[in-house]
Amino acid sequence: MDKILVHGGNGLAGSIKISGSKNSALPILAATLLTREPCTIHRVPDLSDTHYMLQILMHLGAQVERASGTVTVTAEKTDSVAPYDVVRKMRASVCVLGPLLGRCKEATVALPGGCVIGDRPIDLHLKGFEALGAAMRVQGGDVKVFAPKLNGAVINLRGKFGPTVLGTDNVMMAAVLAEGTTVIEGAAAEPEVCDLADFLNKMGAKIEGAGTRRLIIEGVKELHGAEHDIIPDRIEAGTFLVAGAIAGKGVTINRAEPQHLTAITNALTGCGFKIEAKKNSLTVLPNGVAKPLELETEPYPGFPTDMQAQMCALLSTTDGISVVTENVFPQRYMHVAELKRMGANMQLEGSTAVIQGVHRLTGAPVMASDLRASAALVLAGLKAEGITEVSRVYHIDRGYEHLDEKLSELGAHIERVKE
């Protein structure tokens, strides 16, 4: 297993390019199962999660060709069973349920287990399928959904923690081939949901309202092949903006979508950083002493839960008391104990972290627990005195395309070594 060593203290400067979005690529690749015809997807990031998704598609019988960032999937035939050994590696595998149900009228997928950020249920996905007319059975760790025929329905997908992103994706992917009109109320409005809806519409689906809380889907008889460019990864972009804020002398992210990053740039300007925006790029600049912040994570367009850990790393060295509340995954605080090992002063009170900024962090061996928590530890290491050793780097490789190389391009002293 690899680990990353971050030698703290180098200022970051320069520019990097943002990769295609992981959270768009995964459901879009799954959506290629909805047609027999070839689909070509550009800007698919080179990550272990996208590799797992392609493995699942191949296991189901699809042909996959990959040439750098372009992937062509042809699912002339598809099996409807995705077993545990292919699914267990990635929770997002659950998003093959919707397209398989839509196309085959049945799907069996191993139930995702919990993960460090919480228990991660899929009850809302199943509620949506049921409303479309599917029955379901849980047996031997698998969930099987099946229906002689899918019928459009009015479905409210809002749960106690707000809308569900992959749940909205899944129900939308089943509903595109249902008979009649489906209305999803309480839909997730994340840019990745819009990207999926755009792709499905290119395949011949009739979806309106993407980006709002109400999706209207008029079912069609079949979908055809299509070509699509994945949107830029707003969480990777946000992570590099925070890296620039923590240790930067002027960091620019190119090939980004500034409109998707408003909550993050607002948080950074709230902290006192200067942000310069151009059409597809953003620059973060120091601007005197950084200020503490009160922040709550919320569904889009609010501040993303996927950026909470990285902001905690930044606020750990910002003078004054910051208060961060996690509303989407209330238990998502595995990074707090690790940041404390580096000298951060933070206390958890339920789903709120109270952070008293310290003047210095010190490098330490720390353990990555999930994707974004791992990124937060690398960011903290950029500012810490000495060497921060981040182990379990496979978490980072799940979701960041060449994070260490991109940080090196900006001037960080960072190396990847075998454990």
Distance of alpha carbon 277 from alpha carbon 257, whole angstroms: 10
Q: Give 207 or 290: the residue with its C-beta nearer to ligand UD1.
A: 207
- Identify which of 186, 183, 174 has the alpha carbon closest to the alpha carbon of residue 212: 186
Q: Any contact of residue 143 with ligand UD1 (CB under 6 A)?
A: no
Q: Give me the amino acid identity at 25.
A: A
The size of the interface with ligand UD1 (CB under 6 A), counted in residues, is: 22
- Rounded (10°) angle between helices 371-383 and 334-341: 20
Task: Map tokens 């042909």 to a residue.
Answer: 63
What secondary structure letter does DSSP report for 319? S
**2-10, 163-171, 205-213, 386-394 -> range binding ligand UD1 (CB under 6 A):** 163-171
If 0-12 CB within 10 Å is exposed, 13-18 middle and 19+ buried, where does residue 288 land?
exposed
Distance of alpha carbon 133 from alpha carbon 150, whole angstroms: 5
Site residues for ligand UD1, window 58-97 (CB under 6 A)? 92
Q: What is the dihedral of CA 282, 286, 290, 292, to 10 degrees?
A: 10
With CB under 6 A as the contact rule, the residue among 32, 108, 164, 374 that binds ligand UD1 is 164
Q: Any contact of residue 364 with ligand UD1 (CB under 6 A)?
A: no
Q: Where in the sequence numbering do the catalytic residues fall?
A: 115
Q: Any contact of residue 167 with ligand UD1 (CB under 6 A)?
A: yes
In the shown chain, the binding pattern of residues 190 to 229 toward ligand UD1, with x for contact by CB under 6 A and - for none, equals --x-------------------------------------
Name, in order, each residue with C-beta under 8 angstroms of 51's C-beta and a sequence gap of 6 or more. Answer: none
Q: Give 338 or 370: the residue with its C-beta nearer to ligand UD1.
A: 370
Q: Give 231 or 290: the residue with its C-beta nearer to ligand UD1.
A: 231
Distance of alpha carbon 355 from alpha carbon 376, whole angstroms: 15
Q: How do strand 142-146 and strand 135-139 relate by DSSP bridges?
A: antiparallel
Q: At 42, phi and psi to the nearest 5?
A: -100, 160
Rounded to the nearest whole angstrom, what is the least distance from the CB of residue 195 to ligand UD1 in the complex? Answer: 11
In the shown chain, the binding pattern of residues 113 to 142 toward ligand UD1, with x for contact by CB under 6 A and - for none, equals -----x-xxxxxx-----------------
Rounded to the nearest whole angstrom, what is the least distance from the CB of residue 183 to ligand UD1 in the complex? Answer: 18
What secondary structure letter does DSSP report for 400? -
Q: How do strand 321-325 and strand 294-296 relate by DSSP bridges?
A: parallel
Site residues for ligand UD1, window 293-332 (CB under 6 A)? 305-306, 328-329
Rounded to the nearest whole angstrom, what is the least distance from the CB of residue 218 to ligand UD1 in the complex? Answer: 24
Site residues for ligand UD1, window 17-36 (CB under 6 A)? 23, 26
Task: Write out the residues near ligand UD1 by the rule CB under 6 A.
Answer: 23, 26, 92, 118, 120-125, 159, 161, 164-167, 188, 192, 305-306, 328-329
